[in-house]
Each structure stands twice: as structure tokens, then as C-alpha cells.
């Protein structure tokens, strides 16, 4: 009943991993936590768009799994490619937090996206967020923002930016909800697929882990995440294209909204479909319909 859990060393990663560790301890497991540094943690001088498309925040943990140094790794699911090394798989933690992006202002000030004027400096490391910001106002000045959540907040408060965009879920998990100036409307500012959810990566033959999480994999929140991940997998699984997707479920019907932007934000292609059936089929169908709208699209992106 002993498990070794691997995680990155950031405050957010350790906080998320401790949530999973406590969940497992309550079910009778003894859990040891080990910290690993990934390429995404080391190369902070590079924009994320210049990092390898797949595995910038996961490869070192996957190597540790394959080498049997650890039994499971906890990831922000939005960082985890949909294609896994041979012998590894993933299940989803049942507690999905708010998937929306958040506008964060310097301490003591309050802002909204609509009220931001041309020329303001907005920090982000995401090509998706950049494209959506430019769609709102092509005269925003977008600045590369790397580092852990607490580092990004410090840079904002030190005056390097006028505002920054972060995942609301990460701020909530760290107790920084009061720093959120505005939670962005997800139907105007679509989040990345699976934002707000944690992924538990483990060896495919480890029945201990698959069994402890199996009963949660068909909950409403996880069915929505499965549709979003299936949509992403069609576009390359870990692509850095300006893609957004969000699924919601009501009365057994999943609605999946997805969009792809041009990098400059001038063009946006959207698709929305609903289904009572398999979430993966819905995600793949939405990706197919969206790709038919985009001129000369090539896969993977």
C-alpha cells in the first residue's frame, strides 16, 4: 500500500500533488512525494512557443515512471500531451476547478478586459491567450511571461506588466483568488482543453491506481474533460496552436465549444456540437468539423 508520487517543484505543483496524496492517504495508502525538475522549469529564458511541443513539463516525470522510480505523477492536465510513452496511461482526478482564465491586476487595483486601453502591457506565455487578447484589441502590447505563479505575481506587482492572464484554477488552489480582477467569460475567451483538471499518470499495468480512481472517470466533470482531450488529440495531442475548447454537461447532454485563432487574432473559426453519447466521439467530431472550416489546415498543428 506504499506509493511514490512524482511532481514538479513549483508551489502550485506541490500543492496540487499534496491534494492527490491526501486523497490516497484517506484510502489507506502510504504516499511519499518526490520532486523533479522538467525542461519547462529549467529553461525559463525561452518562451513556451519555443519549447518542444510535447512534454516540456512532463518528460522527466514520465522517464521516472518508466524507470519505476515513482508510481504516479501528478500534472496540470492542460500541460499533459494526449499521447503517452509506451506503457504509461492517465486517469483524471475527480475535482475539476474553475476552467476559466483570469485577468490579474497589480495589488490594490482593479481592471476588466473591456476597460483595458491600447498600449497596456499584458503578460502571458500562451499563444492561445495572445491570439484572443489581440482579437479583443490588436493594440495590446503582449509580453512574454514565464515562471511559477508566485513569480509571475511578483513581476506584475514590481511593475513589469500592467496586467497578466493566468488560469483561475491555479490561483484558487494557491489561495490567491483575491488577486483575480476578472474571471474571463469562457464563451468569449475559451480556455485550453482540460484547464482546471489534474491528470494522474501511471504505468498501465498498475491496477492499484487505476482501481482507486476508476469510479470517478464517468462523472459529469470528467466526461467533459474527456471530450476536450479527444478534441485536442486530433490536432496533435500537445500542440501549441491557438486552440481553445470547453465542454459543459446538462441533463446528460455534453455540449463542446471549440475554436482556433490565427496568431494575430484577426481570424477565428468556431464549432459547437452536442451529444448524449461517447465524449471521445464528440471531441473527435468537433475537431473534424472545425478543421473543415479552416483553410489549408495541416495536421498535426
* Structural contact between residues 61 and 6, judged by C-beta atoms closer than 8 angstroms: yes
Q: Which of 42, 53, 16 is nearest to 201 (CA)?
A: 16
Find the catalytic residue in 41, 71, 79, 98. 79
* Structural contact between residues 257 and 110, judged by C-beta atoms closer than 8 angstroms: no
Q: Where are the alpha helices (DSSP H) in 103-219?
A: 127-136, 149-157, 168-173, 207-214
Give every CB contact of residue 251 below 8 A, 6+ residues apart in sequence.
Answer: none
How long is the chain? 301
The interaxial angle of helices 220-234 and 279-293, nearest 10 deg, is 40
Q: Is 95 a catalytic residue?
A: no
The CB density around residue 121, as the number of other CB atoms within 10 Å, is: 15
As a dihedral over the C-alpha atoms of residue 33, residue 38, residue 40, residue 46, rounded to 10 degrees, the angle is 140
Sign of CA dihedral 194, 93, 251, 102: negative
Coarse DSSP helix, strand, coil percentages of the chain, rounded to the nearest 5 percent? 35, 25, 40
- Residues with a catalytic annotation lie at 79
Amino acid at each position: 500500500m506504499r506509493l511514490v508520487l512524482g511532481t514538479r517543484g513549483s508551489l502550485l505543483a506541490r500543492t496540487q500533488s499534496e491534494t492527490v496524496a491526501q486523497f490516497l492517504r484517506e484510502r489507506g495508502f502510504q504516499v511519499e512525494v518526490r520532486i523533479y525538475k522538467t525542461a519547462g522549469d529549467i529553461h525559463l529564458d525561452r518562451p513556451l512557443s519555443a519549447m518542444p511541443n510535447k512534454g516540456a513539463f512532463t518528460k522527466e516525470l514520465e522517464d521516472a515512471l518508466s524507470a519505476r522510480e515513482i508510481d504516479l505523477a501528478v500534472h496540470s492536465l492542460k500541460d499533459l500531451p494526449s499521447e503517452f510513452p509506451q506503457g504509461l496511461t492517465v486517469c483524471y482526478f475527480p475535482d475539476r476547478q474553475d476552467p476559466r482564465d483570469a485577468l490579474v491586476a497589480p495589488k490594490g487595483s482593479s481592471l476588466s478586459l473591456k476597460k483595458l486601453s491600447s498600449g497596456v502591457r499584458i503578460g502571458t506565455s500562451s499563444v492561445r491567450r495572445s491570439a484572443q487578447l489581440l482579437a479583443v484589441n490588436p493594440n495590446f502590447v503582449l509580453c512574454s511571461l514565464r515562471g511559477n505563479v508566485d513569480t509571475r505575481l511578483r513581476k506584475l506587482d514590481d511593475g513589469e506588466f500592467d496586467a497578466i492572464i493566468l488560469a483561475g484554477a491555479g490561483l484558487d488552489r494557491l489561495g490567491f483568488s483575491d488577486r483575480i480582477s476578472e474571471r474571463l467569460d469562457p464563451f468569449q475567451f475559451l480556455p485550453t482543453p482540460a484547464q482546471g483538471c489534474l491528470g494522474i499518470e501511471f504505468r498501465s499495468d498498475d491496477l492499484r491506481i487505476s482501481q482507486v480512481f476508476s469510479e470517478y472517470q464517468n462523472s459529469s466533470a470528467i466526461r467533459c474533460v474527456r471530450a476536450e482531450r479527444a478534441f485536442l488529440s486530433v490536432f496533435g495531442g500537445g500542440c501549441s496552436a491557438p486552440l481553445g475548447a470547453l465542454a459543459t454537461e446538462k441533463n446528460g447532454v455534453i455540449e463542446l465549444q471549440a475554436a482556433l485563432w490565427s496568431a494575430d487574432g484577426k481570424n477565428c473559426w468556431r464549432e459547437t456540437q452536442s451529444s448524449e453519447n461517447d465524449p471521445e466521439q464528440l471531441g473527435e467530431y468537433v475537431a473534424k468539423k472545425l478543421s473543415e472550416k479552416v483553410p489549408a489546415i495541416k495536421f498535426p498543428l
